């Protein structure tokens, strides 16, 4: 199973985002990935993510958006997280603004890893307690540390009979 810590580094987390709308948030997070050397064609990735966003919103509810795109401008799966200064309208399925944007970038040939990562993000953020901690985190490092603790907990073997 894919570990989100394999595709996310602290320098790819931005708190707060400067963006005040959905498109600017996507572009800002792509720029964060590009600055970290994770994307060599940021224009192609921005187009891929935005085209996907126009097809169907990635605002999945509960204050979370997971915009994502696949392009050959990315060599390996990469993730960026941004926390807007104030919640953004992402045209979410529950009509509520977004407090956390998790952008996933994948090479064209990594569909399985892409889907696994999307599923893992969704599963982690399904926990209301974890979501609340993420939304109240005040720095990139605190978001990274929360994910690290959550990954360690979810990777721990379950006791027999549970």
Q: CA nearest 118: which of 72, 65, 160?
A: 65
Within 13 Å and on the Cβ side, how many CA atoms surround 99?
14
List beta partners, residue 98.
88
Catalytic site includes residue 62: no
Query: CA–CA separation, 134 vs 126, rounded Å?
Result: 12
Q: Exactly one of 40, 62, 68, 114 is catalytic; which is it?
A: 68
Query: CA–CA separation, 157 vs 140, rounded Å?
Result: 28
Contacts of 69 (CB under 8 A, 6+ apart): 45, 47, 48, 49, 50, 51, 52, 104, 105, 106
Contacts of 35 (CB under 8 A, 6+ apart): 11
- Which residues are tagged catalytic? 68
């Amino acid at each position: 199973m894919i570990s989100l810590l394999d595709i996310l580094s602290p320098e790819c987390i931005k708190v707060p985002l400067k963006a005040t709308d959905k498109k600017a948030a996507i572009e800002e997070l792509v720029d964060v990935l590009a600055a970290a050397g994770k994307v060599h064609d940021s224009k192609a990735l921005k187009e891929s993510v935005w085209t996907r966003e126009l097809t169907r919103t990635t605002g999945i509810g509960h204050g979370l958006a997971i915009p994502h795109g696949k392009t050959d401008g990315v060599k390996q799966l990469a993730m960026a997280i941004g926390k807007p200064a104030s919640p953004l309208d992402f045209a979410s399925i529950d009509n509520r603004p977004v407090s956390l944007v998790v952008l996933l970038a994948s090479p064209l040939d990594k569909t399985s890893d892409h889907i696994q990562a999307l599923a893992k993000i969704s599963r982690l953020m399904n926990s209301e307690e974890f979501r609340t901690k993420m939304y109240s985190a005040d720095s990139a490092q605190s978001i990274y540390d929360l994910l690290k603790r959550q990954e360690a907990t979810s990777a721990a073997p379950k006791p027999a009979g549970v």
